[in-house]
Amino acid sequence: MIDDIIVTKKIFERFSKDFSNYFEVDVAVAGAGPAGMIAAKYLAKHDKKVVVFERKLSPGGGMWGGGMTFPIIIVQEESKKILEEINVKLDKAEEGYYSADSVEACSKICTATIDAGAKIFNAISVEDVLIRNNKINGFVINWSAVEIAGLHVDPLSIRAKYCIDATGHAAEVCKIVQKKVGRLNTPSGKIEEEKSMCAEIGEKTVVENTREVYPGLFVAGMAANAVYGAPRMGPIFGGMLLSGKKAAEEILKRLG
């Protein structure tokens, strides 16, 4: 016999227990695309308490769609080890280029992130940040459905020692911080806006631009190029993976 109320009760109990365990963390990540999840994976692997908030139902960001919905992605030599570590099958497409199934890659990155010990909450948006002593020290969150419906519902907050904006082209968290504090660690002090597609430059600069954009806030993945004014790069994802790993490494230096 299946009791509908027991099902409801157990879902609520499990979620309440899981969610309350992440009110205070070492690192909070906005965006569960490849850069955000890879950052979370490496941080959790080093025993850091990490939570990832994804506004959509499914983690994976733009990687799911491959190129123009062809479920294939390309990575370069420098980044393929990150996918090999989690057993994503790679085909050598040409010298220095490797192809992978985007659905397999997304699924295995998500699984590896969870297996490393990071927690991913879906359908939750980051709508503001906590700031103390001129340092970002947490996220203000709400259900994505509340945001979409335009309901006047107050959010909740979680505290983190460091935060990562991995929200992709929109660089949503950095936009919030720029609006609230007035200046970021960029040449103009503002978001420089991404340039037109050029994979050769974009794949290099996305790693270079992965850095602390405001005390306590790192930017990774396509958000990094959007913030620092570098090109986008389409369905080659090696830079996303390397950016996530670099973000983790930089934060680990600070956390010790």
pLDDT at 32: 98
Domain, as residue range, for 39 = 23-63+103-255
Question: Rounded distance, CA 241 to CA 39, Å?
Answer: 8
* Tokens linked to 181: 């504090």
Q: What is the pLDDT of residues 12-30, one digit of tens each?
A: 999 999 999 999 999 999 9
Q: What is the pLDDT of residues 206-230, one digit of tens each?
A: 999 999 999 999 999 999 999 999 9
Assigned domain for 143 exists: yes
| Domain count within the chain | 1
pLDDT band at 91 (very low <50, low <70, confident <90, very high): very high
| Residue located via tokens 């990774």 | 220
Assigned domain for 123 exists: yes
CATH of the domain at 184: 3.50.50.60
> What average pLDDT does this structure show over 92-98?
95
- Check if the beta carbon of residue 252 is closer than 8 Å to that of residue 46: yes
Assigned domain for 75 exists: no
Terminal CA-CA length for the chain: 52
Q: Which amino acid is at 53?
A: F
Assigned domain for 84 exists: no
Question: Rounded distance, CA 124 to CA 116, Å?
Answer: 21
> What average pLDDT does this structure show over 140-169?
98
Question: Rounded distance, CA 37 to CA 34, Å?
Answer: 5
Question: Residue 182 above 90 pLDDT?
Answer: no
- Check if the beta carbon of residue 34 is closer than 8 Å to that of residue 237: yes
Instruction: Please give the share of the chain, as a percent, with pLDDT higher than 70.
Output: 100
Q: Quick count: other Cβ atoms within 10 Å of Cβ 151?
A: 10
**CB burial readout 53-75, b (16+ within 10 A) else e:** bbbbeebbbbbbbbeeeebebbb
Assigned domain for 18 exists: no
Q: Pseudo-torsion of CA 167, 168, 173, 174, nearest 10°?
A: 160
- Check if the beta carbon of residue 36 is closer than 8 Å to that of residue 219: no
Question: Residue 107 above 90 pLDDT?
Answer: yes
- Check if the beta carbon of residue 139 is closer than 8 Å to that of residue 30: yes
Assigned domain for 122 exists: yes
> What average pLDDT does this structure show over 233-249?
98
pLDDT at 7: 98
Instruction: Please give the share of the chain, as a percent, with pLDDT higher than 90.
Output: 99
* Tokens linked to 93: 């497409």
Q: Quick count: other Cβ atoms within 10 Å of Cβ 142?
A: 18
Task: Please count the CA atoms within 13 angstroms of the CA of 131 that sit on its side-chain side.
Answer: 14
pLDDT band at 80 (very low <50, low <70, confident <90, very high): very high
Averaged confidence pLDDT in the chain: 97
pLDDT at 256: 86
Sheet strands side by side (includes 91-94)? 72-76, 97-101, 91-94
Question: Residue 171 above 90 pLDDT?
Answer: yes
Residues pairing with 28 in the sheet: 51, 163
Question: Rounded distance, CA 250 to CA 242, Å?
Answer: 12
